[in-house]
């Protein structure tokens, strides 16, 4: 049975053109970019080309791009690197209670080693107010981290306002933009964002490779030590094929951004239209200001776990929130922070779309979901 894949916030299928760009670096072109011979130089050139592609895509200087092993490492490196570099100035960090665990658990680790952290809660719509962030800032605050787009609800956070506040107060600002790239324009030179995380596998690139943007001249220190790769900002032999794939994926996504956005809006609207037609009780957790790729819905009086299992049996891949917690089915920290009631939290399903989904797929998935929900409710 072909799977209808509506879990694109967990990961996306590799774009065949990206795979093709990677191929030589998985076969003949296996040189180490630090080697000075021909093969090494070829690998080095491939990495530098990818760095330019990324720089172009997010309007940053190629020298400000650091390749990492993915979104998780970028988040860790951004926050730890900023906190450690500024530890003499202060040891307080501001973040939000709806961040990805890559940010939350990094902050919790920093608390264990002597830093203090304020977790700003969102409003009931899942959006954090920049004024609340401003209020959380103290004289000893050195770094603020707020995600661009929430991975469970799709809620878009006011990161440019927050970046402005941070710059005024001479505090570093980091944003996890993993769920934003490819849908929302990111023009770093026009913002006051200091650090930004990206991941290739969320935009039809390969897994295990990402970017940390580090604005030139900021007080930030690397967390991985070893060789002098990535201008001494991230030691370790580069993931050459992955980096080439990331560059290609970034270039392609950016070229197709406007078109994909429209396409995904159509998919999301169709899904919602069919579901609202066929179901009496449906709660939408994604706010108005959200990316169309993520649709968080609650089906009161139905267990998300049971619903997901039934969807899986019908060949529909969805999720009950973030991939990292869905295995354990812990109640979503994001919905809890939004003060949703227990019934809503326990019945949440996240459908997430990419341009590779079709309207027909989405209609089938919506009809099947409605049928399962109605059946489970009758029991």
Q: Between the CA of residue 245 and those of 15, 19, 187, what are the distances in Å?
A: 9, 7, 21
- Least separation in angstroms between CB 168 and ligand PLP: 26
Q: How far is the CB of 31 from ligand PLP (least distance, A)?
A: 26
Judged by CB, which is closer to ligand PLP: 33, or 70? 70
Q: Closest CB to ligand PLP among 174 and 340?
A: 174
Q: In angstroms, what is the minimal distance from the CB of 102 to ligand PLP? A: 5
**Residue (9 or 267) nearer to ligand PLP, CB:** 9
Q: Least distance (Å) from ligand PLP to the CB of residue 69?
A: 7
Please state, as a whole number, how many other Cβ atoms lie within 10 Å of the Cβ of residue 48: 14
State the residues that interact with ligand PLP by CB under 6 A: 70-72, 75, 100, 102, 147, 151, 176, 178-179, 199, 201-202, 210
In whole angstroms, give the CA distance from residue 83 to residue 266.
42
- What CA–CA distance (Å, rounded) separates 212 from 68? 7
DSSP labels for 18-86?
HHHHHGGGGTT----TT--SHHHHHHHHHHHHHHHHHHHHHT--GGGEEEESSHHHHHHHHHHHHHHHT
Q: Which residues contact 235 (CB under 8 A, 6 or more apart)?
A: 222, 224, 225, 226, 227, 228, 229
CB nearer to ligand PLP: pick between 265 and 323:
323
Question: CB-wise, 110 or 373, nearer to ligand PLP?
Answer: 110
Contact 205, 249 (CB under 8 A): yes
Distance CA 248, CA 46 (A): 11
Least Å from the CB of residue 145 to ligand PLP: 11
Closest approach of ligand PLP to the CB of residue 148, in Å:
8
With respect to ligand PLP, which residue has the nearer C-beta, 178 or 264? 178
Q: How many residues does the chain have?
A: 379
SS3 94: strand
Active-site residue (options: 107, 166, 324, 344): 324
Could you tell me the two tokens for 123?
Answer: 């409003």
In which region does residue 219 sit, left (phi positive, over 0), alpha (psi from -120 to 50) or beta (all else)?
beta
Instruction: Report the distance separating Cα 199 and Cα 181, nearest Å.
Output: 9
- CB closer to ligand PLP, 239 vs 310: 239
**Least separation in angstroms between CB 339 and ligand PLP:** 21
**Contact status, residue 69 vs residue 209, Cβ threshold 8 Å:** yes
Is 324 labeled as catalytic in the residue annotation? yes
Close Cβ partners of 26 (under 8 Å, ≥ 6 residues apart): 241
Q: Three-state SS for 182?
A: coil
Q: What are the phi and psi torsion angles at 155 (to 5°)?
A: -60, 130
- Distance of alpha carbon 68 from alpha carbon 77, whole angstroms: 9
Which residues are designated catalytic? Answer: 324
């Amino acid at each position: 049975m072909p799977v209808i894949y509506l879990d694109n916030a967990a990961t996306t299928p590799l774009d065949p053109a990206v795979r093709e760009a990677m191929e030589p670096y998985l076969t003949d072109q296996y040189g180490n970019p630090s080697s000075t011979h021909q093969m090494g130089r070829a690998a080095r050139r491939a990495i530098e080309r990818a760095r330019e592609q990324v720089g172009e895509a997010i309007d940053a200087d190629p020298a400000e791009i650091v390749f990492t092993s993915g979104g998780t490492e970028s988040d860790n490196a951004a926050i730890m690197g900023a906190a450690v570099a500024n530890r003499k100035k202060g040891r307080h960090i501001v973040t939000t209670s709806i961040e990805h665990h890559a940010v939350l658990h990094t902050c919790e680790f920093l608390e264990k080693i002597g830093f203090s952290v304020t977790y700003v809660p969102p409003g009931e719509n899942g959006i954090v107010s920049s004024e609340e962030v401003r209020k959380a800032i103290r004289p000893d605050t050195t770094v603020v981290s707020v995600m661009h787009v929430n991975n469970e609800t799709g809620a878009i956070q006011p990161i440019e306002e927050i970046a402005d506040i941070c710059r005024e107060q001479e505090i570093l600002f980091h944003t996890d933009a993993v769920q934003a790239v490819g849908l929302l324009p990111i023009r770093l030179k026009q913002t006051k964002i200091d650090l930004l995380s990206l991941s290739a596998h969320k935009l039809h690139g390969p897994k295990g490779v990402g970017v940390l943007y580090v604005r030139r001249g900021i007080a930030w220190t690397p967390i991985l030590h070893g060789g002098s790769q990535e201008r001494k900002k991230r030691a370790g032999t580069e993931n050459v094929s992955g980096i080439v794939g990331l560059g290609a994926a970034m270039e392609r996504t950016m070229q197709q951004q406007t078109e994909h956005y429209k396409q995904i809006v159509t998919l999301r609207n169709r899904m919602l239209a069919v579901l609202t037609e066929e179901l009496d009780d449906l709660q939408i957790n994604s706010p108005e200001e959200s990316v169309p790729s993520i649709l968080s819905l609650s089906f009161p009086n139905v267990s998300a776990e049971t619903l997901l299992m039934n969807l899986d049996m019908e060949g529909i891949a969805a999720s009950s929130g973030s991939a990292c917690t869905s295995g354990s089915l812990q109640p979503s920290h994001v919905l809890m922070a939004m003060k949703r009631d227990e019934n809503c939290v326990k019945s949440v399903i996240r459908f997430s779309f990419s341009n590779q989904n079709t309207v027909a797929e989405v209609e089938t998935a919506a009809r099947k979901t409605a049928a399962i929900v109605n059946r489970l409710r009758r029991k």
